[in-house]
Amino acid sequence: MEKICQHDGRDQRKFYVAILDLDGFKQVNDLFGHNSGDLLLKALAKRMKRLFGKDNTIARLGGDEFGLILFSPLDKPVIESMLAQALRKITDPVEVLGSLVTVSATIGLSTFPEDADTPGQLMRLADLAMYAAKAAGRNTFAFYDEVLEARQQAIAEGVRLAEQALKESALVLWYQPLVALHGPVLGVEALLRLDRRDGTLLSPETFFSALDHPLLAGKIGRFVLDSAIHQGLLWLEQGIRLRIGINISARHLLDSSFMQDMHAVLERYPDFPRELIELEVTESAPMLDFPSAIMTLQAINALGIHIALDDFGTGNASLTYLQRLPAQTIKIDQSFVRDILVDDKDLAIVTGVTSTAQALGMEIVAEGVETLEHARKLERLGVNLLQGYAIAKPMPAAAIPDWVRCYKPVLLDN
Ligand code: C2E
Ligand code: MG
Ligand code: MG
């Protein structure tokens, strides 16, 4: 690439640098073994050579990452449609050692000479674009642009905000009720807020980057575990028995200190019933390191603590994957719940997830239930545990006891 970049002068040729990362490859390695992983890589490399044509260069960068230099097509709409088609083709199942295996890919691209004119810089920007595409949900592509640079700055700002909040003890938990249809209040989910001390609170959206930051995830996680369980105990002492849902970042869950943190908090609150603790782990977190996630989740279960798979439907979990995860609850992501009344695809996804959960004997929760109409539809689909604005918005801990005492089941009028 060095050579083509240095090729200065008037006929400087435009090209794209792309980094392609396979999604779910680690899971294949973990489930089917390294042999299958290697065969899959070979088969996909062949497929990609065909897809990207002979005018372009493709090389394996290591692991499940490939680098591409794309000289043609150069026209943006044309290359976009080629990339979209390539992504679709990559997800066609591959047969390895008698099993059909499916992975997807995420691609980040930078443009020479518009974005940068050195190989190192082009790779860095393509990598940045790749991470943005991953954050946008994988199985997609993104070109580097200034918006991305701005996003990087927002990430840095989020980390700064959370770091300061930790120092100034400005993190607080709000709680959102979880109810059974026709039945009682089952529990609450602890949701993090940053108190700006000027009467306003910031939602996690503004400091999302900090939740998975290597230096902050553990600190934030320990604060959340401690204050949520402490609060649960205070309610219990007032005669209000609530299950407490606690969000755990992937970074903290997969950190070697996680179980130590868990034991430490249980020792501080020995009187809080463990079956009232439910750790919410995003569906995609265990995929990052399946063997160690499984071990940690099993150890959590062995303590009598429940596990919920959060944001379910947003990753690309397979049935095999689900079967192997020691989880008791599935929380269907609000993005699917929101449109079940109008979008047949979302309805199909919720129906599918519900029957999967039922088949596996797992509890199913719908989050983001915004209207009673949603609640009724969910009831017909067999989803009986609900969380969302139709029931209650998140509220400060002090408001929970009165809310619980006054609560009337949402669908009593039916
Ligand atoms: P989540 O765990 O999926 O939490 C549910 C989010 O949906 C919450 O947003 C909640 O306020 C919002 N929500 C609930 N019902 C409705 C509804 O009917 N409509 C709409 N539009 N939204 C609804 P929030 O509090 O902003 O939290 C966002 C995400 O931040 C959480 O998603 C979770 O992934 C993360 N998060 C929150 N607290 C913590 C925490 O203590 N630790 C970690 N690691 N992550 C946290
Ligand atoms: Mg959650
Ligand atoms: Mg969720």
- Residue 72 Cα to chain centre, angstroms: 34
Among the residue ranges 131-145, 229-243, 349-363, 374-388, the one predicted with the least confidence is 131-145
Mean pLDDT score of the chain, rounded to an integer? 91
Q: Bin 305: left if φ > 0, else alpha if -120 < ψ < 50, else beta.
A: beta
What CATH number does the domain located at 156-406 have? 3.20.20.450
Same fold, 2-144 and 156-406: no
Average pLDDT over residues 276-303: 92
Residue 317 pLDDT greater than 90, yes or no? no
HEC string of the chain? CHHHHHCCCCCCCCEEEEEEEEECHHHHHHHHCHHHHHHHHHHHHHHHHHHHCCCCEEEEEECCEEEEEECCCCCHHHHHHHHHHHHHHHCCCEEECCEEECCEEEEEEEEECCCCCCHHHHHHHHHHHHHHHHHCCCCCEEECCHHHHHHHHHHHHHHHHHHHHHHCCCEEEEEEEEEECCCCEEEEEEEEEEECCCCCEECHHHHHHHHCCCCCHHHHHHHHHHHHHHHHHHHHHCCCCCEEEEEECHHHHCCCCHHHHHHHHHHHCCCCCHHHEEEEEECCHHHHCHHHHHHHHHHHHHCCCEEEEEEECCCCCCHHHHHHCCCCEEEECHHHHCCCCCCHHHHHHHHHHHHHHHHCCCEEEEECCCCHHHHHHHHHHCCCEEECCCCCCCEEHHHHHHHHHHCCCCCCCC
* Confidence class for position 191, pLDDT limits 50, 70, 90: very high
- 26: pLDDT confidence band, cut at 50, 70 and 90? confident
Q: Which candidate, 393, 394, 395, 390, places its Cα nearest to that of 411?
A: 390
- Residue 55 pLDDT > 90: no
Q: Report the pLDDT value the prediction gives residue 9, as an integer from 0 to 100.
A: 45
Q: Which of 152-156, 261-265, 346-350 has the lowest mean pLDDT?
A: 152-156
Q: Give residue 160's Cα distance to chain centre.
A: 22
Establish whether residue 311 lines the binding site of ligand 1, counting it when its CB lies within 6 angstroms of any ligand atom.
yes
* Beta-carbon-side half-sphere exposure of residue 373 (alpha carbons within 13 Å): 5
Residue 12 pLDDT grade (very low, low, confident, very high; cuts 50, 70, 90): low
Question: Does ligand 1 have an atom closer than 6 angstroms to the CB of 296?
Answer: no
Residue 11 has pLDDT above 80, yes or no: no
Contact 395, 403 (CB under 8 A): yes
CB-CB contact of 296 with 259 (8 Å):
yes
Q: What are the extents of the domains in the chain?
A: 2-144, 156-406
Nearest ligand (C-alpha, residue 220): 1
Cβ of 389 less than 6 Å from ligand 1: yes
Which of 192, 208, 216 has most ligand 1 atoms within 8 Å of its beta carbon, as the pocket-test mutant?
192
The predicted model gives 162-189 an average pLDDT of: 96
Cα 191 to averaged position of ligand 1 atoms, centre (Å): 6
Region 179-188: what's the mean pLDDT? 93
Which atom of ligand 1 is found nearest the CA of 389? 18
Q: What percent of the chain has pLDDT over 90?
A: 71
8 A C-beta contact, residue 98 and residue 85: no
pLDDT in tens, 73-129: 889 899 999 999 999 999 999 998 888 888 999 999 999 999 999 999 999 999 999
- pLDDT band at residue 182 under the 50/70/90 scheme: confident
The confidence score (pLDDT) of residue 88 equals 93
* pLDDT tens profile 193-217: 999 999 899 999 999 989 999 899 9
Q: What percent of the chain has pLDDT over 70?
A: 97
Looking at domain 2-144, its CATH architecture is 2-Layer Sandwich (3.30)
Pocket lining: 334 vs ligand 1, CB cutoff 6 Å:
yes
The residue to mutate among 174, 279, 331, 334, having the most atoms of ligand 1 within 8 angstroms of its beta carbon, is: 334
Q: Is the peptide bond before 119 cis (omega within 30 degrees of 0)?
A: no
CA of 189 to the centre of ligand 1 (A): 9
Q: How many residues does the chain have?
A: 414
Cα dihedral: 82, 85, 91, 92 (round 10): -120
Strand partners, 239: none
**Whole-number CA gyration radius for the chain:** 24
Mean pLDDT of 275-283: 96
Q: Is residue 361 within 8 Å of 368, Cβ to Cβ?
A: no
Report the nearest-CA residue for atom 28 of ligand 1.
Answer: 204
Encoding tokens for residue 16? 């794209």
Pocket of ligand 1 contains residue 224 by CB under 6 Å: yes
**Cβ of 278 below 6 Å from ligand 1:** no
